[in-house]
Amino acid sequence: MTAAVSALDAPPVERQLAFDMAKRGLPVAPILVAVAGAIWGWAGAASAAFAVALVLLNFAVAAVSLSWAGKRSIALLMGVSLFGYIFRLALITVAVLAVKDQSWVKLVPLGLTLIVTHLGLLFWEAKHVSVSLAFPALTPQKKGI
């Protein structure tokens, strides 16, 4: 019973990961927007900025929903992780379809930025996440420092 109680009292690891990804992604976002702007003009820059915002929002919604479900039950956590993923992909699709015909949208930089930003932030964060299960999302501190 103590394992279940301590699991409910666990720190909000999902939110820490999403905050870390946003913290790492925001400094890189202007570079992505500038590259898209240099290649596709103003519409490319606006499309890239929209894509970065979608990615950061996607990670934030995932973190909040998984954190919420993890405090309720393991079955709910599994359901939210699977169906939440499908739901968030559908929301990204709807967001892209809603703006695809706007004058400020270029689909190539929008799509490329969506893919590169999602994968880049996931790989970057995976590199920085502690391997130890005792310290998820945190780097273990050395004693005496």
Task: Give the tens place of pLDDT for each residue, 118-133.
Answer: 999 888 877 766 554 4
**119: CB partners within 8 A, 6+ apart:** none
**Could you tell me which of 95, 94, 68, 91 has the C-alpha nearest to residue 80?**
68
Is the pLDDT score of 1 beyond 70?
no
Q: What SS3 class is residue 63?
A: helix
Q: What SS3 class is residue 12?
A: coil
pLDDT in tens, 53-91: 999 999 999 989 988 898 888 999 899 999 999 999 999
- Using only C-alpha atoms, the chain has a radius of gyration, in whole angstroms, of 18
Which pLDDT score, from 0 to 100, does residue 25 have?
86
Compute the C-alpha angle 77/136/70, nearest 5°.
15
